[in-house]
Homo-oligomer: A and B are copies of this chain.
Amino acid sequence: MTRKDIAGAATLAEARRLRADRARQVADVLRRQVLYGEFRSGELPPESDLAREFGASRNAIREALDLLRAEGLIERCPGVGTFVVAEKYPHGLERLLGLAETLREHGEVENEVRTTGLIAPSREVASRLRRPPGEPVVYIERIRRINGLPLSLDLTYIARDLGEPLLAEDLARNDIFVLLERIAGQRLGKAEVTIEAVNADPHSAAILDAPRGTALLMLERLTHLADGRPVDLEFVRFRGDRIAMSGTLHRVHP
């Protein structure tokens, strides 16, 4: 390799890097426009318009569109155009709501109940629900779908006194939150949540009808009654391509 070849290669690598950086910038801005329905017709502007709008090369625009296609947000039909195919639903981070409550305007949530029953909880689960060791808790496992599309796999542990009456209810068509409030005769209060991104293991991916390794938004949520008693511990795997969580944070001085 001559000195000139090496310099050429470095420049090529550098050019690729710059194009990838540019593509990421464009993709992030377009992602939001796609999600918030800015392209009302469902069709994105032609590449040349996007290149002008973003002051980017056609190649960088194509690479940006490839990133969004890989995320399942758009589909490109050569010679026809680029179309929004996202089935991504907004989930509020402001208020504690059940899924059907949250997605009311977006369609009907159906729950496929995979498992229900009394189980002997591990110490960790008993202690978080503030139940004595050895007392059984109710376990419910559901696949949740909106408009027929799998959205999440929910593992739920509920204190026995509320969980047993819950099992007599229609879990396929109702949020547990709504049923719990009716059974407890009081409203829910607060919930502590933790949100993580994890790659789906093969079995969870299959249940959610998603590719192996797909990014999941993993939500752990401990929900309390208004009187402060913790009653509902949930582990929810959302398909990352089907959910976006939004909220408002306020500055409080450190």
Interface residues of A (CB under 8 A from B): 17, 20-21, 23-26, 28-29, 32-33, 35, 38, 53-55, 67, 70-71, 93-97, 101, 104, 114-115, 119-120, 122-125, 139, 141, 155, 177, 187-199, 201, 203-204, 213-218, 220-221, 226, 235, 238, 240-241, 243-254
Contacts and interface: CB of A to CB of B under 8 A. Distances in A.
Contacts of A71: 198-199
Contacts of A253: 187
Contacts of A235: 28
Given A226-B251, A251-B188, A251-B226, A29 B197 contact: no
Closest 8 CB pairs of A and B: A197-B240, A197-B197, A215-B215, A20-B203, A197-B217, A28-B235, A197-B215, A96-B249
A246 B221 CA distance: 10
A216 B193 contact: no
A54 B125 CA distance: 10
* Interface-centre pick from A35, A38, A71, A201 (highest chain B CB count, 10 A): A201
Contacts of A55: 119-120, 122
Contact of A251 (B54, B155, B189): B189
B195 A54 contact: no
Contact of A197 (B28, B35, B190, B238): B238
Contacts of A249: 93-96, 190-191, 193, 221
A21 B141 contact: yes
A44 B125 CA distance: 17
